[in-house]
Structure 1
Amino acid sequence: MPEYRRILLDGAATETLRDGDELVAGDGRRVRIKDAHHLPPVMPSKVIAVHLNHRSRVDEFQIDLPDSPTYFHKPTSALNSHRGAIVRPEGCKWLNYEGEVAIVIKKTARNISPAQAGEYIAGYTVANDYGLHDFRDTDAGSMLRVKGSDTLCPLGPGLVTDWDFRGKRLRTTVNGKVVQDGSTDEMTWDMHYLVADIARTITLCPGDVLLSGTPANSRPVQPGDVVEVEVEGLGRLTNHIVTGPTAIRADVGAQPTESEEVLSTALGGDWEFRGIRPPKR
Structure 2
Amino acid sequence: MPEHRRVLLNGAVVETVREGDELLAGDGRRVRADDAVHLPPVTPTKIIAVHLNHRSRVEEFQIKLSATPTYFHKPTSSLNAHRGEVVRPEGCKWLNYEGEVAIVIGRTCRNVLPTEAGEYIAGYTVANDFGLHDFRDTDAGSMLRVKGSDTLCPLGPGVVTGWDFRGKYLRTYVNGTLAQDGSTDEMEWDMHYLVADIARTITLYPGDVLLSGTPANSRPVRPGDLVEVEVEGLGRLANRVVSGPAAIRTDLGAQPTESEEVLSTALGGDWEFRGIRSPRRG
Question: Taking structure 1 as the reference length, what is the TM-score of the superposition?
Answer: 0.97
Query: Residues 2 and 160 of structure 2 are in contact (CA less than 8 Å); yes or no, is this contact kept in structure 1?
Result: yes
Equivalent position amino acid for 1:155 in 2? L
1:269 corresponds in structure 2 to 269
Matched letter for residue 266 of structure 2: A
Instruction: State the alpha-carbon separation in 2 of the partners of residues 218 and 133 from structure 1.
Output: 12
Which segments of structure 1 move beyond 6 Å, counting only runs of 4 or more? none
Aligned to 2:180: 180
1:101-149 residue CA offsets vs partner (Å, 9 max, x unmatched): 0000000000000000000000000000000000000000000000000
Quote how far apart the aligned CAs of 1:64 are. 0.5
Partner deviation per Cα, 1:174-225 (whole Å, 9 max, x = no partner): 0000000000000000000000000000000000000000000000000000
Instruction: Give the aligned partner of residue 11 of structure 1.
Output: 11
**Residue of structure 2 equivalent to 1:86:** 86
Question: 1:34 & 1:177 partners in 2: Cα distance?
Answer: 21
Q: Secondary structure at the match of 2:181?
A: strand
Q: Distance in 2 between matches of 1:34 and 1:110?
A: 38
Percent identity (aligned): 82
Residues 1:132 and 2:126 aligned together: no
What root-mean-square deviation, in Å, do the aligned CA atoms of Structure 1 and Structure 2 show? 0.9
Provide the C-alpha distance between the structure 2 equivalents of 1:109 and 1:62, rounded to a whole number of angstroms: 35
C-alpha separation in 2, matches of 1:272 and 1:29: 57
Counterpart of 2:83, as a letter, is R
Corresponding residue for 2:279? Answer: none
Equivalence for 1:232? 232
Inter-partner Cα distance in structure 1 for 2:116 and 2:257: 44
Contact 2:16 2:24 in 1 (8 A): yes
| Runs of at least 5 residues in structure 1 that lack an aligned partner in the other structure | 275-281
Distance, in Å, in 2 between the alignment partners of 1:209 and 1:27 is 28
**What amino acid does structure 1 have at the position aligned with 2:57?**
R
Structure 2 equivalent of residue 252 of structure 1: 252
**Cα offset, 1:73, TM superposition:** 0.1
Q: Residue 214 of structure 2 aligns with which residue? A: 214
Distance in 1, Cα, partners of 2:127 & 2:191: 14
| Alignment partners' CA distance in 2, 1:125 and 1:82 | 11
1:69 correspondence with 2:69: yes
SS at match of 1:271: coil
Partner letter of residue 112 of structure 1?
Answer: V
Structure 2: which 5+ runs fail to align?
275-282
Separation in structure 2 between the aligned mates of residue 84 and residue 226 of structure 1, nearest angstrom: 11
8 Å CA contact retained: 2:41, 2:156: yes
Secondary structure in 2 matching 1:137 = helix
Other-structure match for 1:38: 38
Tell me, in whole angstroms, the C-alpha distance in 2 between the residues paired with 1:229 and 1:200. 30
Equivalent position of 2:280 in the other structure: none
Paired positions, count: 274
The SS at the match of 1:241 is strand
1:273 shift after superposition: 7.8
SS state at 2:194 partner: helix
| Aligned partner of residue 150 in structure 1, secondary structure | coil
Q: Is the 8 A contact 2:260 2:271 kept in 1?
A: no
CA distance in 2, matches of 1:269, 1:112: 37
Partners of 2:261 and 2:271 in 1: how far apart? 10
| Residue in structure 2 matched with residue 2 of structure 1 by the alignment | 2
Secondary structure of the corresponding residue to residue 196 of structure 1: helix
Residue type at the aligned position of 1:67: A
1:170 corresponding residue in structure 2: 170
Deviation of 1:271 after TM superposition, in Å, equals 2.0
Write the letter of the residue equivalent to 2:107. K
Deviation at 1:272, TM superposition (A): 1.8
Deviation at 1:270, TM superposition (A): 2.3
Q: Could you list the per-position Cα deviations for residues 132-168 of structure 1 after superposition, in whole angstroms to 9, with x for gaps in the alignment? A: 0000000000000000000000000000000000000
Question: Could you tell me how far 1:269 is from its partner in structure 2?
Answer: 1.1
